[in-house]
Amino acid sequence: MSLFITFEGIEGSGKSTQIQLLAQRLRDRNLLVTTTREPGGCPLCDRIRDLLLNPDQQSMAPSAELFLYLASRAQHMAEVILPALGQGRIVLCDRFSDATAAYQGFARGIDPDFIETLNRFATSGRGPDLTLLFDLAAEDGLRRSRCRDRSAGVQADRLERESLDFHRRVREGYLHLAAAEPQRFRVFDASLAPEKLSAVVETAVLPFLQ
């Protein structure tokens, strides 16, 4: 069976941890799983990711940022996601088109209808079957991401350096998207302990595997 599940949330929401935990739970059920991420997921997309997240690129125009994300998504779909779905695999993707709506639409102020049209083109009209949104206060998410960066000895990326108000708008955007499509979204309290949250996520996903 093919199933396309996307993981969304603000910086530090723990979605990257949850994608790995769910992947393992599904593999334990002998299911074929592909994990990937945006931006990134293949060589060309990883190069675009480096540009988008490089803290030296603070002067990047919002329109340039938008088109770089879309270019990465188009290649990602063609090279990774659509082939995996065609093979009957479950694809778990760390961020996808809803991230563009939240970050470039709600937070940057680019017209959401314009973004939706471009997203449909970049994805060949193939959207997620299920979207898992890990909701957390922006203050808590940024605190987590900065602690993680310090522990890893790395610099905060370009988006992590945005203002608290920016990240609050991203969160509000995500919640707006989830309210508009309750049949596709499942919203989780990202303040839960990772293992407890993982069990809740598995319970929510299981009906889609029937």
* pLDDT at residue 120 in the model: 97
Task: Report the run of H or E that residue 134 belongs to, with start and end.
Answer: strand 130-135
* pLDDT at residue 161 in the model: 93
CB atoms < 10 A from the CB of 113, how many?
A: 9
Q: Right CATH number for 3-209 from 3.30.1540.10, 2.60.40.420, 3.40.50.720, 3.40.50.300?
A: 3.40.50.300
Does the bond joining 39 to the residue before it have cis omega, within 30 degrees of 0?
yes
For residue 13, give the nearest of 171, 158, 151, 122 by alpha carbon.
171
**What is the residue extent of each domain of the chain?**
3-209
pTM to 2 decimal places: 0.96
* pLDDT at residue 152 in the model: 80
Task: Report the run of H or E that residue 91 belongs to, with start and end.
Answer: strand 90-94
Q: What spatial distance separates the first Cα and last Cα of the chain, rounded to whole Å?
A: 10
Query: How long a stretch of residues is the chain?
Result: 210
Q: Give the model confidence (pLDDT) of 25-42 as tens digits.
A: 999 999 999 999 999 999
For residue 69, give the nearest of 16, 110, 35, 34 by alpha carbon.
110
Q: Is the pLDDT of residue 154 over 90?
A: no
User: Which residues partner with 135 through β-bridges?
Assistant: 189
* pLDDT at residue 75 in the model: 98
Q: φ, ψ for residue 156 (rounded to 5)? A: -65, 140
Average pLDDT of 114-125?
97
* pLDDT at residue 156 in the model: 87
* pLDDT at residue 8 in the model: 98
